[in-house]
Structure 1
Amino acid sequence: MRYSILLAAAVAMPVAGHAQQGDDAGAAMSYGQRPAYLVDKMADGPLKDELAACLGNTPERTAFSIGHRGAPLMFPEHTVQSNRAAARQGAGILECDVTFTADKQLVCRHAQNDLHTTTDILTTDLASKCTAGFTPAEGDTDATAECRTSDITLAEFRTLAPKMDAFDARATTPEEFQGGVAPWRTTLYADGAELMTHAESIELFDSLGADFTPELKSPSVEMPFDGYSQEDYAQALIDEYKAAGIDPSRVWPQSFDLNDVLYWIENEPEFGRQAVYLMDEYDTEGYDPNDPSTWPNTMAELKEMGVNYIAPPLWMLVTLNDAGEMVPNALAEAANEADLGIITWTLERSGPLANGGGWYFQSVADAIDSDADYLTLLDVLAQDVGVTGVFSDWPATVTFYANCKGL
């Protein structure tokens, strides 16, 4: 199955609390320099020729391009500015990772317990409320801290300043701990970045002409939390789209917890038919995406449960053939046989690929030696695996490819 989307027309409304940014649903989209840089690095051949011929095209928004936490290669993740950047790069779907505060309000954070690496909380008075305060590095022991959204109220959350997700493991002060940004990222666009609630993300994404893929994050606290059950949490996410009057066809709710997906399928079928099962089977001992006997569930079994979309990481969909070429693996083939839509994550998150690409490219590392391989893998995923969307930390790359290929 392949999804098709008629993207919503741009809606001219300011986002609550962010009206000073202005509405830019109609702002001109741009690929910027990076797609051309990647094409230039490609080896000569038909794919390079085809992509090079598209470099002068006018960018168009595409649902194939999904902003992963916005555009966090250069902007603080899950901020207004990060998502505006992703929309200007043509991302047709934007993501809010959803977690909750002490007063059970939904906010956009990649994890419930990441405030110490994604905000300035450790340098504020709210540091005293953190689950685990700052401990300086000493000898061979790294600096540590843990600050959760559930440690503070929504009002307190709003006082924090977001930053690039990073920390300095050798820090001896909370101020030093704020560093550690990878050299291939930047802090250039962090000043003045704004946090969002989930409800504010809905209003913002709608005003940008994009659709929605909220991810229900695994709680760091024991559930129920002060009487708030996992089912309450899953329902609250859907209720905020209902309250905003968003058509369910524009929403792809996600979770790594299959039970969340099944809850939506049973209790909110209009939203559940597009619920996305984020596959983390790689954490299962002995798991091999090329060996179905190691899978917790077959693709056919997932389909029988009512699941229509899966989202494994990049490496779980590809392998190398005898000639050393990237090709679909057994999981990809089984998903297509079961008529499951496939979404994947995360392009442009690995930094320079000269050394094999790390975790996201582990199944094809022997074929990865240049940043141009971002485009090579993307072509295999689109044309051979048949993915319907790709999360990216810099959506312009995926938008450019999808536009060129008419996806």
Structure 2
Amino acid sequence: MLLSRRAALLAIVLMLGAVPATADDIVLPREAQIGPRPFYLVDKMKDGPLKRTLSQCTGPFHKTDFSIGHRGAALQFPEHSREAYLAAARMGAGVIECDVTFTKDRQLVCRHSQCDLHATTNILAVPELAAKCTQPFSPADPASGRKASAKCCTSDITLAEFKRLTAKMDGFNPDAKTPEEFQNGTPRWRTDLYANSGTVMTHDESIALIKSLGAKFTPELKAPEVPMPFDGDYTQERYATQMIAAYKAAGIPPADVFAQSFNLADIIYWAKTEPEFAKQAVYLEERYEKQGLDPNKPETWKPSMEELKAAGVAILGPPIYAMLALNDKGEIVPSAYAKAAKAAGLDLIGWSLERDGPLNKGGGFYHKSVKAAIDRDGDTLTVLDVLAKQVGVRGMFSDWPATTTFYANCVGMK
């Protein structure tokens, strides 16, 4: 009887003494694969020395710790999915993020927010799980002007139930009349091309995967959206300890972990209880919401940079706009905030490149301090150059790590 093509190929492999790859084996390319987007951005830049330098850069490109995969590769892949992490690694991200939150049975999983399952997964299409949501789906009512809504949290379901979900692109349709319509809300400038089978990840699974990809880790302890202590005795401190303990159990060196939190108390707690991990913990800038942070008004960023340093903060993680300003000539330059942080001895890691969508109209939140100087997609690289060379950030979160990998390689950064 004739062998099938698959069986014949397998027989040849075995005769040659090789072991065929299994479905779970991950083979990364020897060099980072950055695709066409970075070159598109170069083409759209204003003429000048930076454009000339970048336009002559053709690789090869290699992994770099300057390139941090924000939620994986969230521009085109479902955030915090296995597929997004693989894409980030293939694009040369040397550091990959898992935003950490907890389930009803206190297990850690990767989600940007504890209560975003209605926007980032298919939970509303799984009736028995949708019924457990904090706020079930409510359809839009055009007559009253009421928008469609839902609120589904990881703490509403167990780990086993979480693993039944499929990750999708972040977004929802506020005008939806049905759960199916509600879940069809991907922004037009993103894509659903890679979103039909996103694999949700537990925290432990993310550690194992990212380790296998040869990358470093930047877990963010997300602020709980349920009262703490949760379910009686699950305190913020136990939650913070649990996250770090996962890296210790997996044998991950503290030098490979950049733990993050918007809660200064978490950073201080780690400084007291896990000093080796705290050496490069990242205090994410929360004052942009609480104090209306203005990058050129020190009174809007209290505590001061010196006080943060004294409290044990080593790395500060602000949004892009906080580190930038315009000078009298309308040029993008470091802000007073950025200068003060560096003067106080704080390292900076910025977030998040490629998150504002098309920049032809000046961008949104991430570019609001320099909006007048932004008028084309190529300004993504102009902004990145100022952040790298003038502000001196040690790394950049990006929704599309190919962009940061490309830039770092082209200008000789590690």
TM range (shorter): over 0.9
- Alignment match, 1:119: 121
- Alignment match, 1:391: 397
Q: Deviations over 1:330-377 (max 9, x none)?
A: 110011111111000000011110111011100000000000000000
CA distance, structure 2, for counterparts of residue 84 and residue 287 of structure 1: 35
CA distance, structure 2, for counterparts of residue 99 and residue 316 of structure 1: 26
Q: Which runs of 5+ in 2 are unaligned?
A: 1-21
Q: Are 1:129 and 2:132 counterparts?
A: yes
- Equivalent of 1:273, from 275, 279, 298? 279
- Equivalent of 2:207, from 197, 202, 213? 202
Report if aligned partners of 1:101, 1:151 keep a CA contact under 8 Å in 2.
yes
- Equivalent of 2:35, from 32, 36, 53? 32
CA distance, structure 2, for counterparts of residue 178 and residue 27 of structure 1: 37
- Structure 2 length normalisation: TM-score? 0.92
Amino acid across the alignment from 1:209: G
Report if aligned partners of 1:25, 1:207 keep a CA contact under 8 Å in 2.
no
- How far 1:203 moved relative to its partner? 0.6
CA distance, structure 1, for counterparts of residue 32 and residue 162 of structure 2: 32
Alignment of 1:20-99 (within 5 A): 20-26=23-29, 28-54=31-57, 56-99=58-101
- How far 1:27 moved relative to its partner? 5.0
Q: Deviations over 1:90-147 (max 9, x none)?
A: 0000000000000000000000000000011111120110000000000211100000
- Three-state SS of the structure 2 residue aligned to 1:213 is strand
- Alignment match, 2:193: 188
CA distance, structure 1, for counterparts of residue 412 and residue 31 of structure 2: 19
CA distance, structure 2, for counterparts of residue 89 and residue 388 of structure 1: 18
- Equivalent of 2:306, from 300, 307, 320? 300
- How far 1:305 moved relative to its partner? 1.0
- How far 1:52 moved relative to its partner? 0.7
Over aligned residues, Cα RMSD in angstroms? 1.0
- How far 1:296 moved relative to its partner? 1.6
CA distance, structure 2, for counterparts of residue 94 and residue 399 of structure 1: 13
- How far 1:25 moved relative to its partner? 4.1
Alignment of 1:148-159 (within 5 A): 148-159=153-164
- Alignment match, 2:264: 258
- Three-state SS of the structure 2 residue aligned to 1:96 is strand
- Alignment match, 2:17: none
Report if aligned partners of 2:63, 2:94 keep a CA contact under 8 Å in 1.
yes
Amino acid across the alignment from 1:363: S
Q: Deviations over 1:301-352 (max 9, x none)?
A: 1111111000000000000000000000111001111111100000001111
Q: Deviations over 1:59-99 (max 9, x none)?
A: 10000000000001110000010010000000000000000
CA distance, structure 2, for counterparts of residue 24 and residue 317 of structure 1: 38
- Alignment match, 1:309: 315
- How far 1:28 moved relative to its partner? 4.1
- Three-state SS of the structure 2 residue aligned to 1:262 is helix
- How far 1:239 moved relative to its partner? 0.3
- Three-state SS of the structure 1 residue aligned to 2:209 is helix
- Three-state SS of the structure 2 residue aligned to 1:214 is strand
Over the matched positions of the two proteins, sequence identity in percent amounts to 58
- Equivalent of 1:318, from 310, 314, 324? 324
Report if aligned partners of 1:87, 1:208 keep a CA contact under 8 Å in 2.
yes
- Structure 1 length normalisation: TM-score? 0.94
Q: Are 1:235 and 2:238 counterparts?
A: no
Report if aligned partners of 2:74, 2:400 keep a CA contact under 8 Å in 1.
yes
CA distance, structure 2, for counterparts of residue 132 and residue 359 of structure 1: 28
CA distance, structure 2, for counterparts of residue 308 and residue 167 of structure 1: 37
- Alignment match, 1:9: none
CA distance, structure 2, for counterparts of residue 66 and residue 134 of structure 1: 35
Report if aligned partners of 2:271, 2:278 keep a CA contact under 8 Å in 1.
yes
- How far 1:47 moved relative to its partner? 0.4
- Alignment match, 1:8: none
- How far 1:406 moved relative to its partner? 1.1
CA distance, structure 2, for counterparts of residue 229 and residue 62 of structure 1: 36
Q: Deviations over 1:358-403 (max 9, x none)?
A: 1110000000000000000000000000000000000000000000
Q: Which moved more, 1:288-297 or 1:368-377?
A: 288-297
CA distance, structure 2, for counterparts of residue 298 and residue 24 of structure 1: 46
- Three-state SS of the structure 2 residue aligned to 1:310 is strand
Amino acid across the alignment from 2:123: I
Amino acid across the alignment from 2:322: M
Report if aligned partners of 1:27, 1:88 keep a CA contact under 8 Å in 2.
no
Report if aligned partners of 1:149, 1:157 keep a CA contact under 8 Å in 2.
yes
- How far 1:31 moved relative to its partner? 1.1
- Equivalent of 2:165, from 160, 177, 181? 160
Aligned length: 388
- Equivalent of 2:350, from 339, 344, 369? 344
- Alignment match, 1:358: 364
CA distance, structure 1, for counterparts of residue 381 and residue 218 of structure 2: 24
CA distance, structure 1, for counterparts of residue 211 and residue 312 of structure 2: 28
Q: Which moved more, 1:189-198 or 1:142-151?
A: 189-198
CA distance, structure 2, for counterparts of residue 306 and residue 286 of structure 1: 24
- How far 1:285 moved relative to its partner? 3.7
